[in-house]
Amino acid sequence: MSENYTNPLRTAVLGVTGYSGAELVRLLLDHPRLAAHSPLLLGRSGSETVALTSIHPQLSGLPNADSLSVVPFDLKLLVDEKIDILFLATPHEQSREDVPAAVAAGLRVIDLSGAWRLHNDANRAVYKLHDADPALAAQLQTEAVYGSPELHGEQIKTARLIANPGCYATSIILALAPLVRANVIDLDYGIIADAKSGVSGAGKAPTPTTHFMYAADNLSAYAVFGHRHTGELLEQLHLDASQIQFTPHLLPIPRGILSTIYVRLAQPGSILNIQSLYDEFYANAPLVRIRRSPALPQIQHVVRTAFCDLGFQLSPDGKRLVIISCLDNLLKGAASQAVENMNLMAGFSQSEGLR
């Protein structure tokens, strides 16, 4: 069972300057269960204390936002403040470094980076992580729970360490999980996952391919055969690399992901049967919305919401299936999914504070 906190839940966020960090703080400030204690906001060790609204003026007016400051990270401060759950919205290397000490201090951790998502060493190698204590890191890796509430809700409730899924991975895994679990896909034929994301998915730091002059009026593929979310697809869907091709693209919009996934069915299917697979699989998933075929989701339907929308169309011969998955990469692909995980860990309703 999830831990039932007898006192109001105390949270902290390390890494609030980025897009996902800002969305996470916004959700926590407005969460009805956290009204008694605003989150403790942390920057890097040795950094200066700064007002939250000087970093994110858009948060001004939210409960306590105008009086909150971002203070330097100090593990002792977290312990003294009796923090229950620590969110990490930090680079992968920093999360890998900070988690062992935080867990040892009795904190439960929800990490939004890719540092703890992958259990297979070969898949994790894409992050080029270094562990000061490899044995301790390996032990923590075995207990890290992949933070997809729809797939691992029961494990999330009692976990000490949650690895929040990647945004692309969330969109594709949620689209495919019901079909893979039902064993209706011809995996020998292979799966094509064509995914497109708004520019915020690349993070706040500008790069040559994300500045306005490159991204505007453009559409480009990148990381073909090498995107770091591929390992999540393989591990969570129990596929091998020969069974799925994932290609990401950069859309000239601020936020949102649309994934178009092509599969061949092992046996001819029907719209009714496919619809039933999705409806049954997500019957208790409050933040996954299933469209009625032939209706298909669009990015504009999900942007700035915590939902993932799924829809499909089946070929007239019943053999070829196209699934469309849409979500907001900063919310269901990051911050709001992290809050879903917090809700489960604390014994709250999964969608509390997110609708």
Strand locations in 69-143 (E): 69-72, 85-88, 108-111
Neighbours of 126 (CB within 10 A): 17
Neighbours of 8 (CB within 10 A): 12
The Cα–Cα gap between 117 and 103 comes to 16
- Degrees, nearest 5: CA angle 202-295-257: 0
Query: Per this entry, what is the length of the chain?
Result: 355
| Element housing 309 (H / E) | strand 308-314
DSSP conformational letter for 185: B
Q: Which residue has the tokens 């469209």?
A: 291
**Rounded (10°) angle between helices 149-158 and 167-181:** 100
The Cα–Cα gap between 225 and 242 comes to 11
Catalytically annotated residues = 167
Q: What is the CA radius of gyration of the chain?
A: 20
| 43 SS3 class | strand
Strand locations in 147-299 (E): 161-163, 191-197, 220-221, 244-250, 257-264, 288-290
